[in-house]
Structure 1
């Protein structure tokens, strides 16, 4: 059966450009027919319904090939959640993932109990009410769902709301609580969208990309980047058994951009490797120095193509004969990537901790390759800061337990810097990596904080050194009594790092140490916070 190709949206867009200019209309029409079901749904209710129906048909076909499609379920009052659900399903389909798209009016316990993975996009209406289409949700599911029926379900929740109302995202939060009480496992922390906040929606898209194996899912709304200069790149783990990890520092062209808080996120606009652009230019017999306008700025064709999502080699013939400007106009921008910020504005620069990602064929990941290898020092980097209020440090001097692994140290480092700046010194770091000899990132800095009393203690877990604890969750378990005592004294817990393995392992350890009711109380009070990816 037909499965939507990852490049279908891009091919369809290029095909429309070809058709609009009157060249090879038959070929363009074939391409458009092939991917027409996934075309834009934002400019009319009729087209939106047609796209949803077409997605449902394809989902049904795909389900025969793959017994475990992702369920995308929406509860919408004004149509916005439904629109986002269609875009979510379309993005997953474009990455080759089978999908079933349903409304909450169609959702029942049997469907959920048979599902392995689900994404819920839900609105809150009035003063904390569920949308009308979800009115029967609780009755149907509570009647047919036992407490353990959803233990196999992995889920994500996008909660839409308006913070001007007293019960912000109430239905999304209630849904999350219900799923957790039935032992379903979150794929990532709930994403809450305040009045259509585009930053939160881009964060949801970042999760979709991760769920699709790092697929290049185009942004629904283009971020407005600032220009930053890469001023330092330093390898942190020479000799490591893992992929290379780098300390990066960037300075803004406009000093007013030095404004963020510990816990915030850097959205990076990556570029294609130069050899990829050169091959495309050679294939199309175009001059890379030709002047064009891209994203409202003048630049060369090579510079512009470096920022665009390119067609695979098998589809390049459709671009033959394009002028440089038409080529740039036809290709969408590359999707952004997110990184935890590892510094404070007072440092005078934005610092990152980035590990190289490699695909099965040896290619470097899009953003990690750009930042750690292809961009030269001094290069201009497209970057914007996204506020991440859910990981801002406490304002007071309460004890703070910081837990993380790998490049998750970046977010924890910024929080510790903020605590030091505020004079709050009751901090405890538990950190896991591969080897003490090669992967002890920023060791001298953390040792200095320990000597100065900024950190009261540091516990490490080295997975490849053969000693216990092996992983950071093992370090958490080993310190059960002390963690319980700190929490009893009012400590908050912040977790940053990998979603797979670490985040779930740490949560399980904390559940054993503190109990479900205490961890739930900490979560509701904002004292248990996670930035995991």
Structure 2
């Protein structure tokens, strides 16, 4: 739709210029521009967010609130801080605590507790939530009949045990006699709107407890980046220019890993080693076209995707998840298609999980055809396309207004058709010099270098798990840190898959890196992995730990991380003489001291 100068307040020159600009904008750019204009209007008019009388000052008549977060990557922590800010702005005395810093027995003295908990792996709680999680599920858990609570769960519906940690917290509190203030909310990867609604319901209820009613609300537009501040975030990403993209694997490798550099100039974005970069990807146009063709739809059919009015083709390319299937999507499609076989799969979690693996939306629409479906129904059936997180492979102290990534292209064949990961293949195959990548920083305070530059560091990162450790070494080099550094790295073949080999060997020659132990699984008859290197060097690992080393693990959560954790338990038992229970407590204490940190996915 074009702007007509004859029925708008714009001049012909302004209208034509704006029309030309709008035609070039990608959906994320359009979203950002709308927020930018709204923020600029508010700033120019001197508008202030509405607030209740005495906002920001604790009101003795309102209840106090303790917000506890269990977060593996930082999403839960960010939401907890937002809830705390909203509560304090209403005069509610709120404090926000990492579960690792909260003494479980203190629950007996709390009145109102909000739990924000993420889930990782096979329904496991985050590392910082383990003590509280085990306490409320153990025999020493007290009666909590005096306590009122609320739970916000974070998860991913593409996993079988969706939001399991939050569900477990909710059930445990209820079993101990606590009363839920509001119903638990289980949020998928696109959690913003659901979390906002839960915040509003909780804070209204807390005010009602004191006889107050209603709370001020803020709209999505009011959170937009204002012209003066240009605050880019998960909701309003920065459009980053691609500076460089080059392969890291040698000729003949069975893997494809790329080093990608993006420009952050003029973004105001800052990050620390250990943080992640969120990227909003684009689906493969060929997959989009195949789905539209399979359903005999018009690619130019007008649809609404969330709060964006666009065409079907654009909605499927930019706004909807196509390469992964989740239970809610399958449930909706089963109702549309009337496919009895699909309905039977939904009744068997194990069978459904096995069937979902490796399949995409095209498999669903071809395997379970519908008599007729319109474009808007298709868009409403599919999950919103969430951002993908990548561990940052650079230190801003070393690269300034750049951010570097280490991306493994995910490619596989299933049911006779080639498939690919949505973000990794976009970044590997379809970036051009003029491509703008929508990005934001996802802070991860649970994966940080020690403040003491003299502290030793052990880094375990096979494959692309090496990414944050490249950032660690760049940072320690810039800080002239004196602490010892030990890398344990693994991949398939030494000659083709030693990622950033020249950099690591140069750091070793310079004395920044004291030790490198590698495990290339396919270079000999029997496969070798990093956990075996840990066991082989158990005496050295133990000596480093006993003199204060910080231990970091990055990479696959399903197999590598549990195997490495078991190897560390074996090391502790072998070298200290501890039994399994005491060795587990030893590693747990390292976690409490922030000396055992994991970035696993």
Return the TM-score normalized by structure 1: 0.58
Q: Give the corresponding residue for 1:270.
A: 281
Superposed, 1:96-111 pairs within 5 Å as: none
For residues 499 and 161 of structure 2, what CA distance do their matches in structure 1 show?
A: 25
2:446 to 360, 375, 390: 390
Q: SS state of the match for residue 410, structure 2?
A: coil
- Residues 233 and 247 in structure 1, CA contact (< 8 A), matched pair in contact too: yes
Q: Does structure 1 residue 230 correspond to structure 2 residue 263?
A: no
Deviations 1:223-253 (A, max 9, x none): 4151223332212113455431111222247
Q: Does structure 1 residue 353 correspond to structure 2 residue 406?
A: yes
CA displacement at 1:532 relative to structure 2: 1.8
CA displacement at 1:276 relative to structure 2: 1.6
Q: SS state of the match for residue 458, structure 1?
A: strand
Q: Does structure 1 residue 479 correspond to structure 2 residue 537?
A: yes
- Residues 265 and 402 in structure 2, CA contact (< 8 A), matched pair in contact too: no
Q: Does structure 1 residue 313 correspond to structure 2 residue 365?
A: yes
- Residues 273 and 394 in structure 2, CA contact (< 8 A), matched pair in contact too: yes
Q: Give the corresponding residue for 1:367.
A: 423
Deviations 1:93-124 (A, max 9, x none): xxxxxxxxxxxxxxxxxxxxxxxxxxxxxx99
- Residues 409 and 496 in structure 1, CA contact (< 8 A), matched pair in contact too: yes
Q: Give the corresponding residue for 1:337.
A: 388
CA displacement at 1:317 relative to structure 2: 5.0
Superposed, 1:58-77 pairs within 5 Å as: none
- Residues 157 and 188 in structure 2, CA contact (< 8 A), matched pair in contact too: no
Q: Give the corresponding residue for 1:208.
A: 159
Q: Give the corresponding residue for 1:400.
A: 457
- Residues 251 and 349 in structure 1, CA contact (< 8 A), matched pair in contact too: yes
Q: Does structure 1 residue 417 correspond to structure 2 residue 474?
A: yes
Q: Give the corresponding residue for 1:33.
A: none
Cα pair distance change 1:177/1:205, threshold 3 Å? farther
For residues 338 and 520 of structure 1, what CA distance do their matches in structure 2 show?
A: 27
For residues 487 and 314 of structure 2, what CA distance do their matches in structure 1 show?
A: 43
- Residues 294 and 365 in structure 2, CA contact (< 8 A), matched pair in contact too: no
For residues 495 and 235 of structure 1, what CA distance do their matches in structure 2 show?
A: 24
Cα pair distance change 1:175/1:466, threshold 3 Å? farther
Cα pair distance change 1:379/1:496, threshold 3 Å? same
Q: SS state of the match for residue 303, structure 1?
A: helix
Q: 242-251 or 310-319, which moves further after superposition?
A: 310-319
Q: SS state of the match for residue 338, structure 1?
A: strand
CA RMSD of aligned residues (A): 4.2
Deviations 1:410-430 (A, max 9, x none): 122122222222221421111
CA displacement at 1:336 relative to structure 2: 2.9
For residues 438 and 483 of structure 1, what CA distance do their matches in structure 2 show?
A: 28
For residues 452 and 158 of structure 2, what CA distance do their matches in structure 1 show?
A: 31
Q: Give the corresponding residue for 1:457.
A: 515
Q: Does structure 1 residue 255 correspond to structure 2 residue 255?
A: no
CA displacement at 1:478 relative to structure 2: 2.1
For residues 505 and 110 of structure 2, what CA distance do their matches in structure 1 show?
A: 52
Deviations 1:347-402 (A, max 9, x none): 12221112122344131122222222234443222332221111111111211111
Cα pair distance change 1:431/1:158, threshold 3 Å? closer
For residues 298 and 483 of structure 1, what CA distance do their matches in structure 2 show?
A: 57
Question: Which structure would you say has the larger Rg?
Answer: 2
Deviations 1:316-358 (A, max 9, x none): 7577554xx7875675421332221111234122211121223
- Residues 253 and 497 in structure 2, CA contact (< 8 A), matched pair in contact too: no
Deviations 1:440-484 (A, max 9, x none): 111111122112222122121211112899221122222222222
Gaps of 5+ in 2: 1-64, 70-101, 112-120, 141-149, 164-186, 193-233, 323-360, 574-582
Q: SS state of the match for residue 406, structure 2?
A: strand
Q: Give the corresponding residue for 1:171.
A: 132
For residues 221 and 309 of structure 1, what CA distance do their matches in structure 2 show?
A: 15
Q: Give the corresponding residue for 2:313.
A: 302
Q: SS state of the match for residue 334, structure 1?
A: coil
Gaps of 5+ in 1: 1-76, 82-122, 133-152, 161-167, 180-194
Cα pair distance change 1:318/1:377, threshold 3 Å? farther
2:191 to 221, 240, 244: 221
For residues 208 and 384 of structure 1, what CA distance do their matches in structure 2 show?
A: 24
Return the TM-score normalized by structure 2: 0.52
For residues 313 and 264 of structure 2, what CA distance do their matches in structure 1 show?
A: 23
Q: Give the corresponding residue for 1:148.
A: none
Q: 426-435 or 469-478, which moves further after superposition?
A: 469-478
For residues 438 and 139 of structure 2, what CA distance do their matches in structure 1 show?
A: 40
CA displacement at 1:494 relative to structure 2: 0.8
For residues 206 and 326 of structure 1, what CA distance do their matches in structure 2 show?
A: 20
Q: Give the corresponding residue for 2:125.
A: 157
- Residues 265 and 388 in structure 1, CA contact (< 8 A), matched pair in contact too: yes
Superposed, 1:466-505 pairs within 5 Å as: 466=524, 470-505=528-563
Cα pair distance change 1:283/1:381, threshold 3 Å? same
For residues 157 and 302 of structure 2, what CA distance do their matches in structure 1 show?
A: 32
Cα pair distance change 1:478/1:321, threshold 3 Å? closer
- Residues 218 and 333 in structure 1, CA contact (< 8 A), matched pair in contact too: no
Cα pair distance change 1:389/1:220, threshold 3 Å? same
